[in-house]
């Protein structure tokens, strides 16, 4: 578990880790051809960045220990009317640092 997430656990106090994970719903879009391409880029040491679109704002998240385990990763390579069109989905596996 990353330092970023651990800090939140300390600040939450009354919530346990399982309850916190149930509260977090992050969906990020990563531009790539496939999940395998994302995993190859991560293994080669490249920084892979995803974008979370929420309530009219875009937040960038690197695929690293900052991203909570189980985050939904949508892979896209085409845009439609200014929005990314997801062609596959996966979950971020923090322990193995890859998209499943």
What is the pLDDT, as a whole number, of residue 7? Answer: 61
What is the pLDDT, as a whole number, of residue 10? Answer: 59
Q: Which residues contact 100 (CB under 8 A, 6 or more apart)?
A: 35, 90, 91, 92, 93
pLDDT in tens, 12-67: 555 455 555 545 578 899 999 999 999 999 999 999 999 988 777 888 889 988 88
Q: What is the mean pLDDT of residues 81-93?
A: 89
Instruction: Give the distance, in angstroms, between the CA of residue 14 and the centroid of all CA atoms in the same chain.
Output: 25
3-state secondary structure of 96: coil
């Amino acid at each position: 578990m990353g330092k970023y997430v651990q800090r939140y656990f300390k600040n939450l106090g009354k919530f346990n880790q399982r309850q916190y994970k149930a509260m977090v719903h992050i969906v990020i879009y990563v531009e790539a051809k496939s999940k395998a391409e994302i995993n190859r880029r991560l293994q080669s040491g490249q920084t892979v960045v995803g974008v979370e679109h929420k309530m009219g704002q875009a937040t960038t998240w690197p695929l690293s220990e900052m991203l909570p385990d189980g985050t939904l990763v949508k892979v896209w390579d085409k845009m439609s009317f200014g929005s990314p069109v997801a062609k596959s989905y996966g979950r971020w596996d923090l322990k193995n640092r890859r998209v499943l």
